[in-house]
Amino acid sequence: MTPAVRSIRTITIGTLLVAVGMVGLAGGCEYRSRSGAAVPGDSAQGERPSQITWDASFTLTEDGHRRAIIRAARMDQYSTDDSTYSIWRTLSDTGRVRSYIFEKGDSSATITADSVVYHSGEGRFEAYGNVVVLTTENRRLESERLTWNQFDRKIRTRRFVHITTPTEDVRGNGLVADEDLESYQIGEFTAEVEVEDENS
């Protein structure tokens, strides 16, 4: 009897449902500055920030516990009639905006991006440009844009994503995931997974 052989197979499937549930993905407009950093449409029309902070760090709390920390070289705060938001950005080509997500006081994921827009009233965090999510369980997500919601604890994007874990390599378009990437729903995708072949 020949021993079992481990192999890698490439699988292409129309739709994968890893996490249960239907979630709508919200769209929006954006403007890209000369540096490539995305900013909301309002600020693109000449609105000036109400506050500018250099070497900025901001901690979000929930029930007295840390929920997230955002750090960047510059933060611009904007206030409009219907919303308040901040734009976090770097000042160099090699700099990154770093955000840390916490679950029950423990770190669960780190998000790095070229820029971040945080809508405080909605608890919505939008990361733009070379976005990388890395969890403590060695799961990694790469995309050009994603949204994290601090209240429902979900990561969403309509863009191309690449997820790698110790046992999976998945690429596809559109994603809804838990913030620790433990479960996710993805659209059309290609994946490499380990399977065992039994030869007798």
pLDDT score at 195: 60
Instruction: Reply yes or no on whether the pLDDT at 33 is more than 50.
Output: no
Least Cα distance to 152 among 122, 173, 196 occurs for 122
- 102-145 pLDDT, tens digit each: 987 778 899 999 999 999 888 899 999 999 999 999 999 999 99
Q: Which fold has domain 13-19+30-193?
A: lipopolysaccharide transport protein A fold (2.60.450)
Instruction: Reply yes or no on whether the pLDDT at 40 is more than 60.
Output: no
How do the domains of the chain map onto residue ranges?
13-19+30-193
Q: What is the mean pLDDT of the segment spanning 87-97?
A: 90
Distance CA 42, CA 124 (A): 17
Instruction: Reply yes or no on whether the pLDDT at 35 is more than 60.
Output: no
In this prediction, residue 164 has a pLDDT band, given cuts at 50, 70 and 90, of very high
Distance CA 101, CA 44 (A): 29
Higher pLDDT, 6 or 45: 45
Residue 104 C-beta-side C-alpha neighbours within 13 Å: 1
pLDDT averaged over every residue in the chain: 77
pLDDT score at 190: 65
pTM of the model: 0.70
Instruction: Reply yes or no on whether the pLDDT at 19 is more than 70.
Output: no
pLDDT score at 81: 82
Provide the CA 28 distance to its chain's centre, in angstroms: 16
In this prediction, residue 146 has a pLDDT band, given cuts at 50, 70 and 90, of very high
